[in-house]
Structure 1
Amino acid sequence: MSVVADVVRPNGAVRGVVVLAHGAGGNRDAAILRAYADALCARGLVVARIDMPYRQQRPKGPPSPSKAAADRDGIREACAQFRGESDGPLIVGGHSYGGRQASMLVAEDPGVADGLLLSSYPLHPPGKPERMRTEHLPDITVPTVIVHGSRDPFATTTELAGAIALFTAPVRVVEVTAPHDLKPDKTGVSGLAAKAVDTLFFDRKALQ
């Protein structure tokens, strides 16, 4: 399946690339992805917001667990397509389901990307903390930024802290007072996330 993406590019020098996938009920036009794209592009990053394969196949509805591997393949293909946009790092991730699939992809194949940006990672289904989605986290060996809403039913702050301890690479957490969708128009979360990405991957103190 081909890559379907909206891409924003900075006017000046390009320092890296970010590939972002949407949540289970959304698409590449999701407000949170657009907010991230604007903030990251302002810091010199090319940002591609992609539709995963299941969304290309139908405009509405949730993903099928049986086709999650195909969604990861779609993210992999997008990373390969946009890798050549910059000699800098390529960061992959996304919101909720998109971020989870990106994290599983990087755990399976660390060479796909140089880092992760996980937005509202769905640590477990709402109300079912016994069903933790953490098996692959110890296999993630690239630096990771996690953006978390303190009122997210998919993960409490305490639960997230426990999951972060499983990573084997640096993790930077951005937490805002918000539910799962992070309310980017009210919380300024996209700017905070972009700053965290800048700090973790570029360490440009002038931009702090």
Structure 2
Amino acid sequence: MSADSGVDIVVDDDVAASVQRPEGPAIGVVVLAHGAGGNRDAAILRGYADAFVERDIAVARIDLPYRRRRPKGPPSPSTAADDREGIAAACERFRGLSAGPLVVGGHSYGGRQASMLIADDPSHAAGLFLSSYPLHPPGKPERMRTEHLPSITVPTLVIHGSSDPFATPEELTEAIGLIDAPTEIVTVKAPHSLNPTRTGVVRLAVDAACSFLFEGNSIDG
């Protein structure tokens, strides 16, 4: 199961993405969105993508609409709905990369927006892959971002750093328990960035995703 070294760039009015495919037929698709300060070339997304492709899963790393409008800076709460629409458009565009299931998610802000999209309409994806879910702003646990979690009805995998200031492991466990679907949390000794060059997070995350979301009985193709 070797990965093709090529990356296809897809940019049009609806999506901006770097697409990676395995050499043979893909058993599934993952659409990944970046965090608030990054873009589709973030190291953690590239690490996940390379590992998924090695496991015969196609990956589309996307730039969210706010990032397409400006190359730097954080997203605005006023345009978050546009970002969710961008994720939905990517799911629709890249679903055809495989006859297997499509999983959507991403790192931090990107994963949160994906989870909100799926809470509103689960038809977009068969599962969620959430990397460093930003449960609350650092130092402000009273501002939990959990309102939509009980509306999620697809299997959800969460990758969490034990020293992440956006959530303690205990806070995250309690929050993810609100999801009305099978869930799994992979905790690694790392901060919010989950730096793939300093941790084994990529392999742990992708192994868990393949077992829990693709090879197991959690989701249907």
Q: Please tell me the TM-score bracket, short chain as reference.
A: over 0.9
For the pair 1:43 / 2:61, whether they are aligned, the reply is no
The 5 Å alignment of 1:145-184 reads 145-184=157-196
How many residues get paired? 204
Matched letter for residue 124 of structure 1:
H
What displacement does 1:13 show? 2.4
Q: What SS does the corresponding residue of 2:197 show, helix, strand or coil?
A: helix
Matched letter for residue 123 of structure 1:
L
2:28 to 16, 20, 39: 16
Give the equivalent residue in structure 1 for 2:14: 2
1:122 to 126, 134, 138: 134
Note if contact 2:30-2:102 (Cα within 8 Å) is conserved in structure 1: yes
2:41, 2:177 → 1: CA distance? Answer: 32
Give the equivalent residue in structure 2 for 1:137: 149
2:27, 2:184 → 1: CA distance? Answer: 20
1:152, 1:37 → 2: CA distance? Answer: 22
For the pair 1:101 / 2:113, whether they are aligned, the reply is yes
Deviations along 1:31-70, one digit per CA (max 9) or x if unpaired, are 0000000111111110000000000000000000000000
- Greater share of helix residues, 1 or 2? 1
The 5 Å alignment of 1:181-200 reads 181-200=193-212
Identity %: 67
- TM-score, normalised via structure 2 length: 0.91
RMSD of Structure 2 on Structure 1 (CA): 0.8
Give every structure 1 segment of 4 or more consecutive aligned residues whose post-TM-superposition deviation is greater than 6 Å.
none
Note if contact 2:28-2:214 (Cα within 8 Å) is conserved in structure 1: no
1:9, 1:172 → 2: CA distance? Answer: 26
1:112 to 124, 132, 136: 124
| Structure 1: 5+ residue stretches without partners | none
Q: What SS does the corresponding residue of 1:184 show, helix, strand or coil?
A: coil
Matched letter for residue 210 of structure 2:
D
Give the equivalent residue in structure 1 for 2:71: 59
The 5 Å alignment of 1:27-42 reads 27-42=39-54
Moved more, 186-195 or 71-80: 186-195
